[in-house]
Amino acid sequence: MDIIANYGWYLLISGCIFGFFMAWGIGANDVANAMGTSVGARALTLAQAIIVACIFEFAGAYLAGGEVTSTIRKGIIDPSLLADTPELLVFGMLAALLAAGSWLLIASYNGWPVSTTHSIVGAIVGFAAVGISVDAVSWSKVTSIVSSWVVSPLMAGTISFMIFRSVHYLILDTDDPFNNAKKYVPGYMFLVGFVLAGVTLLKGLKHIGLDLSFFEAIQYSILIGLGIAFIGSRFLKKINNTKVERGDVVFDGVERVFAILMVFTACAMAFAHGSNDVANAVGPLAAIVSVVQSGGEIAAKSAMPWWILLVGGIGIISGLAMLGYKVIETIGKNITELTPSRGFAAELAAATTVVLASGTGLPISTTHTLVGAVLGVGIARGLSAIDLSVVGRIIVSWIVTLPVGAGLSILFFFTLKGIFS
């Protein structure tokens, strides 16, 4: 308690800096999963992708980031075991943020796509199990989180497979694919708007005072989906069935229709990513703020201050703008050859999976989800369309991330404990 009383402001400022650093790393690395497919499919340029991501990542983080944050903050560690030593929780969360942020900086600089969820969960489990007690970790919660890392790519892969097959059935394999694209694509746009709005209204806006019933949220979601479909259909009317060259690829009219659709799915994926992954940065920060402001009391439940989500949102867009291009190029061009129709199926499936997980409060890995979605599209085309060596390297990076995050967290935990003791 004395440490909290004497050094509270230092710990609070350090928490804000480390939380911003972690959010910066998320923007620089994991945001590639939101934007990489759009850039790889040449639906957006790199500069356009950064602008879209900055707007919608921030919106997702601020509007829908509260539900997952509670899981990261309170679900992994049993706070009752730390009631007499709240400073250990603060040191641990500081160490976790610094460890995960450091690994993300290294990975982003080298263009390695790694899971930020792996990084922060591994870091929290590492300091808690070694620095406090094995019993301090809620292993049942960790097990459910780990299982979601398996379930999410399977779910995203299944959804993307079904979406891509429906695109073939309704549009690509017909006698008049261009006019069928203009006919059916507004329906896909409605689906994008409905999924996003539904999860946001149901789960994301309670912390700003908007608590709708299920049926009210569904009604508003339908209206928003119809509005997005209407706006998209206006854009589609301007497209004619001529070939256009983008970079080294020539798009026919059908793919140009899907390029318009990918702008909408890119926005959806950025929003979904912001809503889920901001928790990785602001969850530990919220725990630090709660303990310090209460004078050392570890509350079972505490409100999420709006400015913490703001710190996370600003950190994410800063990292994206400064270093995000490296991992965007890795993801967007190397797993498989993407066209707008393929990229759309992968992005919509990944966005749907992520927002559903965010709504249930389960922190999944966006990296796993998007790779699963892209693999689903590849399987629909045939395994030869997938660069399995790239997929293998990505999986190795996932495996390495957990122990690296845990190891760095343990090191920083004992360093901070020594400094303030």
The per-residue pLDDT for 248 is 53
How distant is the alpha carbon of residue 92 from its chain centre? 23
Residues spanned by the domain of 307 = 2-420
The whole-angstrom separation of Cα 183 and Cα 230 is: 12
Calculate mean pLDDT across residues 312-316: 84
Side-chain-side CA neighbours of 333 within 13 Å: the count stands at 13
- What average pLDDT does the chain have? 81
The per-residue pLDDT for 1 is 56
Listed in sequence order, the DSSP H helices in 168-252 are 177-199, 214-236
Summarised one tens digit per residue, pLDDT across range 90-107 is 899 899 999 999 999 998
The per-residue pLDDT for 14 is 93
Question: Residue 335 is encoded by which pair of tokens?
Answer: 């797993």
- Does residue 245 register a pLDDT over 70? no
The answer to whether 407 and 122 are in contact (CB under 8 A) is no
Question: Which band of pLDDT confidence, cut at 50, 70 and 90, is reported for residue 407?
Answer: very high
Bridge pairing between strands 249-251 and 244-246: antiparallel
Give 78 or 47, the one with higher predicted confidence.
Answer: 47
The whole-angstrom separation of Cα 74 and Cα 283 is: 8
Calculate mean pLDDT across residues 328-338: 77
Tell me how many domains the chain contains: 1
The per-residue pLDDT for 105 is 93
Beta bridge partners of 251: 244
The whole-angstrom separation of Cα 344 and Cα 194 is: 16
The whole-angstrom separation of Cα 318 and Cα 324 is: 9
Question: Which band of pLDDT confidence, cut at 50, 70 and 90, is reported for residue 15?
Answer: very high
Give 369 or 414, the one with higher predicted confidence.
Answer: 414
Give 416 or 267, the one with higher predicted confidence.
Answer: 416
- Does residue 326 register a pLDDT over 90? no
The whole-angstrom separation of Cα 50 and Cα 325 is: 8
The whole-angstrom separation of Cα 409 and Cα 323 is: 23
Calculate mean pLDDT across residues 130-137: 83
The answer to whether 268 and 347 are in contact (CB under 8 A) is yes
The per-residue pLDDT for 302 is 55
- Does residue 265 register a pLDDT over 80? no
Question: Which band of pLDDT confidence, cut at 50, 70 and 90, is reported for residue 411?
Answer: very high
Q: What percent of the chain has pLDDT above 70?
A: 87
Question: Residue 230 is encoded by which pair of tokens?
Answer: 């209407």
The per-residue pLDDT for 60 is 78
**Entry pTM:** 0.79
Distances (CA, A) of 47 to 53, 250, 321: 10, 21, 9
Question: Which band of pLDDT confidence, cut at 50, 70 and 90, is reported for residue 249?
Answer: low
